[in-house]
């Protein structure tokens, strides 16, 4: 019913030439993938070149961020129209690194989601708690604020065209992964929030990715969980074989 979406978030890694090389390897390695939606997110600088590589393949193009305005005096930023022109399919929004280093808030996430959707691209909305928040018993409160903030003013129809990435901040880039059970519990809670907002049908149709040190060794266990519908992959997406080592178990799942 819902798609398994596995996206590689390359962050601030790879020159343009290296990005083209990695994208070429991913396209080749993923050529027989039919069930999982595979996407890669190079830097802004490499998007146009990587777009040429993925064109006509089953690998989708993702951007790592966007600004909500159409154009203007926003030094360093890129608009949704610019991404659309290049052929971007998915836009990562609200990544914890954006939230913690660059002042992203639930309000800016919401503006970006709306802008991206207005151009028929799919937002990947990142949410997740810090270790301190989890230890303080604030996991559910934080996720509730983030989900309600991101979806504020979105219709059920718009909500259907979103993907969520649940990424516990303490698991990102640390090598520490949430256990299958910890991840499943958080995903089930997030799906419950979507049910409250939009009802069961919509909630059951939205893919919720897990992110945070996902790798070939732990992918099968995580992806087998009832409410885990893919992954947002950082470190392990920087090599084609480890990225495909996460896609392959997703491909063979019977759900
Ligand atoms: P990681 O990053 O896989 O390196 O933990 C995931 C992410 O930040 O999206």
- pLDDT, tens only, 230-247: 999 999 999 999 999 999
The residue whose C-alpha atom lies closest to atom 1 belonging to ligand 1 is 234
Per-residue tokens: 139? 């996991």
Residue 191 pLDDT grade (very low, low, confident, very high; cuts 50, 70, 90): very high
State the distance from the centre of ligand 1 to the C-alpha of 135, rounded, in angstroms: 21
Could you identify the atom of ligand 1 that is nearest to the CA of residue 215?
3
CA nearest to 164, candidates 230, 224, 103, 98: 230
The residues near 139 (Cβ < 8 Å, ≥ 6 apart) are: 129, 133, 186, 189
Could you identify the atom of ligand 1 that is nearest to the CA of residue 9?
9
Contact 203, 159 (CB under 8 A): no
Residue 255 pLDDT grade (very low, low, confident, very high; cuts 50, 70, 90): confident
Which backbone phi and psi does 164 adopt, to 5 degrees? -110, 145
CA nearest to 231, candidates 6, 3, 1: 6
**Residue 122: pLDDT over 90:** yes
Could you identify the atom of ligand 1 that is nearest to the CA of residue 236?
3
Q: Using one digit for the tens of pLDDT, what is the confidence trace for 145-190?
A: 999 999 999 999 999 999 999 999 999 989 888 999 999 999 999 9
Across 95-99, 101-105, 172-176, least confident range = 172-176
DSSP H/E element including 60: strand 59-63
pLDDT at 175: 87
Q: Which is more confident, 209 or 176?
A: 209
CATH number of 4-251: 3.20.20.70
pLDDT at 4: 97
**β pairing state of 207-211 and 230-233:** parallel
Which whole number is the average pLDDT over 83-107?
97
State the distance from the centre of ligand 1 to the C-alpha of 232, rounded, in angstroms: 7
Which whole number is the average pLDDT over 42-52?
98
Instruction: For the full predicted model, state whether its pTM sits above 0.85.
Output: yes
The residue whose C-alpha atom lies closest to atom 2 belonging to ligand 1 is 234
Per-residue tokens: 71? 């154009």
Contact 210, 222 (CB under 8 A): yes
- Residue 207 CB coordination number (10 Å): 19
Pocket residue to mutate for ligand 1, from 13, 97, 173, 183, most atoms within 8 A of Cβ: 173
Q: Using one digit for the tens of pLDDT, what is the confidence trace for 8-44?
A: 999 999 999 999 999 999 999 999 999 999 999 999 9
pLDDT at 87: 98
Q: Which residues are catalytic?
A: 95, 167
pLDDT at 203: 98
Four-CA torsion 151, 157, 160, 165, nearest 10 degrees: -20
State the distance from the centre of ligand 1 to the C-alpha of 208, rounded, in angstroms: 15
Cα angle value 34/184/197 (rounded, 5°): 90
Residue with tokens 């019913």: 1
State the distance from the centre of ligand 1 to the C-alpha of 153, rounded, in angstroms: 29
Per-residue tokens: 148? 């309600």
The residue whose C-alpha atom lies closest to atom 3 belonging to ligand 1 is 234
DSSP reduced 3-state for 89: coil
List pocket residues of ligand 1, CB cut-off 6 Å.
9, 167, 172-173, 211-214, 232-236
State the distance from the centre of ligand 1 to the C-alpha of 105, rounded, in angstroms: 19
The residue whose C-alpha atom lies closest to atom 7 belonging to ligand 1 is 234
Could you identify the atom of ligand 1 that is nearest to the CA of residue 237?
3
């Amino acid at each position: 019913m819902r798609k398994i979406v596995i996206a590689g978030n390359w962050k601030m890694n790879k020159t343009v030439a290296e990005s083209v090389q990695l994208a070429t390897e991913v396209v080749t390695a993923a050529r027989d993938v039919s069930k999982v939606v595979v996407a890669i997110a190079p830097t802004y600088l490499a998007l146009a070149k990587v777009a040429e590589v993925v064109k006509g393949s089953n690998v989708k193009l993702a951007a790592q961020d966007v600004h909500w305005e159409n154009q203007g005096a926003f030094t360093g930023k890129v608009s949704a129209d610019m991404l659309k022109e290049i052929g971007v399919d998915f836009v990562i929004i609200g990544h914890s690194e954006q939230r913690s280093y660059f002042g992203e808030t639930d309000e800016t996430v919401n503006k970006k989601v709306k802008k991206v959707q207005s151009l028929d691209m799919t937002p990947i909305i990142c949410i997740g708690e810090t270790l301190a928040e989890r230890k303080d018993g604030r996991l559910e409160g934080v996720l509730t604020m983030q989900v309600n903030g991101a979806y504020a003013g979105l219709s059920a129809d718009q909500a259907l065209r979103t993907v969520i990435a649940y990424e516990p901040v303490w698991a990102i880039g640390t090598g520490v992964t949430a256990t299958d059970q910890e991840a499943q519990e958080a995903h089930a809670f997030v799906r419950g929030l979507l049910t409250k907002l939009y009802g069961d049908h919509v909630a059951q149709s939205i893919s919720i990715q897990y992110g945070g040190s996902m790798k070939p060794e732990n992918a099968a266990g995580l992806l087998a969980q009832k409410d885990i519908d893919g992954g947002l992959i950082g470190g392990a997406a920087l090599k084609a074989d480890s990225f495909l080592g996460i896609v392959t178990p997703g491909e063979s799942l019977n759900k």
